[in-house]
Amino acid sequence: MTTIDARRRHERRRALRASALALGSTIVVFGGLILLVVNSPGWAEVQRSFLDDRVFADALPSVVRSFAVNIQLFVAAEVLVLVFGLFIAVLRSLPGPVFFPVRIMATVYADIFRAIPGVLVIFLLGFGIPGLGLVDPKTPSIIYGVAALTLVYSAYVSEVYRAGIDSVHPSQDAAARSLGLSRWQSLRHVVIPQAIRRVIPPLLNDFIGLQKDTVLVSFIGVVEIFRQAQIKQAAAFNFTPYMAVALVFVVLTIPLARLTDVLIARDRRRAAGGKA
Amino acid sequence: MTVPSAAPALLVEGLEKSFGSLAVLRGIDLEVGEHEVVCLIGASGSGKSTLLRCINLLEPIDAGRIVIEGDEITAIDVDVDRIRRRIGIVFQAFNLFPHMSVLDNVTLAPRKVLRTPRAEAEEAALRLLERFGLVDKRADHPDRLSGGQQQRVAIIRALAMQPDLLLLDEVTSALDPELVAEVLGVIRELAAGGMTMLIATHEMGFAREIADRVCFLDAGLILEQGPPDTLFRDPFEPRTRQFLERIIDAGRL
């Protein structure tokens, strides 16, 4: 007869064995990979070009400083995307034949700006709009960068919002309408607030993409982190500054990715019926 | 264009409704007088819920007409939102707004639809919550409440619009048995207060106790109606008798 104590001891032993196995296999796999790279014929050369600590120490401060430009770019674009993306999603959700042209326009917009590579939109705006001669030619390029990122990511985010709006059960709208709220009031006070709560995790995911794409704005002459690293790379004949850029993005993105995971897990718990 | 006093609270004539090829309502005639409580009974799928949803204009009808106090609400050019203000409906699944507190659930429609100032709307809502013993839940979100409490809030939410007619769609069907009584208590109190109600229900004992009149729906028609004592004790139609016998066999009457 197994006592409860014996059963617990057995469970504990099994858990311990599992952890040991996970640790062991991790060391073997990663250790093997590192050994493979370090013993490759060109390793010494690659190490010198990409992992030079003197170049790294020299580049890091200016690279981090120029990241302020990327922060401006993505903060401005994110705020605009939140508003404009929702606007597009609402246009696409408007019912009735009167709004048919509006729905078409919003759909075409979302299709086109998801289709064109972001870097092209940045080019077209950054070089095309000034060419029209309609805006002040001294308008800084960063403005076109923000506009292009907003256009591209609003198209994605409008789809995220729309999925959220569609996921709110029709009985919620029925309840609101039965109380005399108009279609718009129901959307505004009942459907959209619930939709936004649900789409926060996928929204953060799109923002991770947007933040990385701020480096594309370097192509229209904005000196941001990537261009700054390029300048350093050209001066030192060494690729290490790019590693500094990579590090900065990793440090920025990992907390955001973990936050997204936490929010998704929380949503899943709620959906499973647990009380908030 | 309100016809004075003589017009019934609700008049339904020749109402037909199909979903695709499935005829759910096949010519419903029904009259509900002011302060009258009418219960709709019948098997699942007999059309009770659809009838209520049609009266609240949540479902477009195929034929017939619905008249509220002399106003034909199924006319082509009516303002749907204006009519819904006069008719409250409570659903089986409560359908409270999960992102709002109890108080906001109750005051949303008065504030947004009737443009009642917030303070005034909240005062009225708190009076209602007080009356039905929920005032201490005013700041809670719906997921903190039991099913019975949620359904009472849903009833209060409908009452806050001061409707002329209240539709109740199997409001106790989703509740645990021990929570049914508190919701029925609220409805009983409303009936005593003279609220005009049309109630779809499976609670036969309750229908018998509270209804002025009971209508038995079968396959999209009102097969038989009458005072509860007559209909439950001595039903005329064989189908009604069969339905009630099954209910008695199941121990529900």
Q: What is the pLDDT of residues A82-115, one digit of tens each?
A: 999 999 999 988 877 888 999 999 999 999 999 9
- How far A171 CA lies from chain B's nearest CA (Å)? 6
Count of domains observed in chain B: 1
- A268 near B133, Cβ under 8 Å? no
Q: What is the pLDDT of residue B7?
A: 81
Q: Which ranges in chain A belong to alpha helices (H)?
A: 4-38, 43-50, 53-93, 100-115, 118-123, 129-132, 141-167, 170-178, 183-186, 192-213, 225-236, 240-271
The mean pLDDT of A2-14, rounded to a whole number, is 87
Which residue would you say has higher pLDDT here, A267 or B136? B136
ipTM for this prediction: 0.88
**Closest residue, chain B, to A193 (C-alpha):** B99
Give the C-alpha separation, B7 to B3, whole Å: 6
Q: What's the pLDDT at A247? A: 94
User: Looking at the complex, does the CB of residue A190 fall below 8 Å from at least one CB of chain B?
Assistant: yes
Per-residue model confidence (pLDDT) at position A88: 94
Token pair for residue A263?
A: 């929010």
What's the pLDDT band for A2 if we cut at 50, 70, 90?
low
Give contacts of B113 with chain A, Cβ < 8 Å: 179-181, 185
Lowest mean pLDDT among A209-213, B72-76, B100-104, B153-157: B72-76
**Confidence check: pLDDT of A190 > 90:** yes
In CATH terms, the fold of domain A55-271 is MetI-like fold (1.10.3720)
Q: Which of B56, B93, B112 has the CB atom closest to A189's CB atom?
A: B112
Residue B144: which of A172, A194, A275 has the nearest Cβ? Answer: A275
Residue B79: per-residue pLDDT: 87
Task: Name the one residue in this structure whose structure tokens are 């037909």.
Answer: B16
Contact criterion met (CB below 8 Å) for B3 and B27: no
Residue ranges of domains in chain A: 1-36, 55-271
Calculate what percentage of chain B has a pLDDT beyond 90: 63
Q: Which residue has the higher pLDDT, B154 or A270?
A: B154
- Is B5 part of any domain? no
Q: Tell me the chain B residues in contact with residue A195 when contact means C-beta distances shorter than 8 Å.
A: none
Find the range with the poorest average confidence among A129-138, A180-189, A223-232. A129-138
Distance of residue A272 Cα from the nearest chain B Cα, in angstroms = 13
Question: Closest to B85 (Cβ–Cβ): which among A172, A180, A185?
Answer: A180
How much is the pLDDT for B5? 55
A37 to A40, A52, A54: CA distances (angstroms): 5, 17, 22
pTM of the model: 0.82
Asked whether residue B4 carries a pLDDT value surpassing 70, the answer given is: no
Domain annotation covers residue B74 = yes
Q: What is the pLDDT of residue B253?
A: 64
> Is pLDDT above 70 for A248?
yes
How much is the mean pLDDT over chain B? 90
B2: in domain: no
pLDDT value for A274: 42
| Angstrom distance (rounded) from CA A227 to CA A217 | 9
Q: Which among A172, A179, A194 is the nearest to B113, CB-wise?
A: A179
**Best residue in B53, B55, B58 to probe A by mutation, most A CBs within 10 Å?**
B58
Q: Would you say the C-alpha torsion A182, A188, A193, A199 has a positive or negative sign?
A: positive
A276 pLDDT more than 60: no
* pLDDT for residue A103: 92
* Residue range A189-196: mean pLDDT, rounded: 94
Is A194 near chain B, with CB under 8 Å?
A: yes
Inform me whether the C-beta atom of residue B82 falls under 8 Å from chain A C-beta atoms.
Answer: yes
Asked whether residue B15 is domain-assigned, the answer is yes
Dist CA A33 CA A15 (whole Å): 27
Confidence of residue A275 (pLDDT cuts 50, 70, 90): very low
Q: For residues A180 and B82, what is the distance between their CA atoms, to the nearest angstrom?
A: 6
Q: Please indicate, yes or no, if residue B87 is contained in any of the structural domains.
A: yes
pLDDT of residue B2 exceeding 60, the answer is no
Element (H, E) at B87: strand B87-90
Question: Region B228-253: what's the mean pLDDT?
Answer: 85
Q: Is A185 on the interface with B (CB under 8 A)?
A: yes
Give the pLDDT of residue B246. Answer: 86
Q: What CATH number is given to the structural domain containing B79?
A: 3.40.50.300
Q: Output the average pLDDT for chain A.
A: 91
Q: Contacts from A164-170 at CB under 8 Å and sequence distance 24+?
A: A164/A195, A164/A196, A164/A198, A164/A199, A165/A89, A165/A90, A165/A93, A165/A191, A165/A192, A165/A195, A167/A195, A167/A198, A168/A194, A168/A195, A168/A198
Q: Which residues of B touch A276 (CB under 8 A)?
A: 141, 143
d(CA A175, CA A178): 5
Q: Is B174 part of the contact surface with chain A (CB cutoff 8 Å)?
A: no
- Report the pLDDT value the prediction gives residue A271, as an integer from 0 to 100: 62
Q: What are phi and psi of B9, to 5 degrees?
A: -60, -40
- Give the pLDDT band (50/70/90) at residue B3: very low
- Does A76 have pLDDT greater than 70? yes
Task: State yes or no: pLDDT of A67 exceeds 90.
Answer: yes
Interface A–B counts its CB contacts (< 8 A) at: 62
Does residue B19 lie in a domain region?
Answer: yes
- Partners of B82 on chain A (C-beta within 8 Å) are 180
Q: Which residues contact B181 (CB under 8 A, 6 or more apart)?
A: none
Residue B202, domain member (yes or no): yes
Q: Tokens for A189?
A: 């006070």
Q: Kindly report, residue by residue over A215-243, the tens digit of the pLDDT.
A: 999 999 899 999 999 999 999 899 999 99
Mutation to test the A interface, candidates B49, B108, B171, most A Cβ within 10 Å: B108
Tens of pLDDT, residue by residue over B80-103, are 888 888 999 999 999 999 999 999
Instruction: Quote the CA–CA distance of A104 and A112 in Å, as a whole number.
Output: 12
Mean pLDDT of B206-214: 91
Cβ–Cβ below 8 Å for B112 and A172: no
Report whether pLDDT(A273) > 60: no
On chain B, the residues whose CB falls within 8 A of the CB of A177 are 58, 81, 84
Of the residues B112, B166, B167, the best mutation for testing chain A's interface (the one with the most A CB atoms within 10 Å of its CB) is B112
The token duo for B203 is: 């609670």
Domain of B92, in residue numbers = 10-249
High-pLDDT (> 70) share of chain B, %:
96
Per the listing, tokens 């609270």 go with B9
Q: How far is CA A105 from the centre of its chain?
A: 26
Query: Looking at the partner chain, which of B84, B108, B112 has a beta carbon nearest the beta carbon of A178?
Result: B84
User: Has residue B1 been placed in a domain?
Assistant: no
